[in-house]
Amino acid sequence: MELSRGGRNPIILPDGTVRAFLEDGDEVRVSATAPGPGGTRISLGEVTGVVLPANDA
C-alpha cells in the first residue's frame, strides 16, 4: 500500500476495488533479496501476516 502515498493516490485492484489502506482480514506477504558475492542474490526469506481488527480493550 506504499504506492497509495499515504492514501492520497488510491490503488485499483484487479477486481476493480479501490483501496488506499490495508483493511482487517488483508493478508500481507513480504519477501526480499539482496546482492551477494560474485553477482549472486541472497534470499532474505518471506514473512506473511494477516491484519486483525483492533482490540476494544
What local confidence, expressed as pLDDT, does residue 30 receive?
Answer: 92
The Cβ-side half-sphere exposure at 33, using a 13 Å CA radius, reads 8
The ranges assigned to domains in the chain are 24-52
Cell of 48: 506473511
What local confidence, expressed as pLDDT, does residue 39 receive?
Answer: 93
pLDDT tens sequence across 11-52: 999 999 999 999 999 999 999 999 999 999 999 989 999 999
pLDDT at 1 over 70: no
Residues 28 and 31: their CA atoms lie apart, in Å, by: 10
pTM (whole model) above 0.85? no
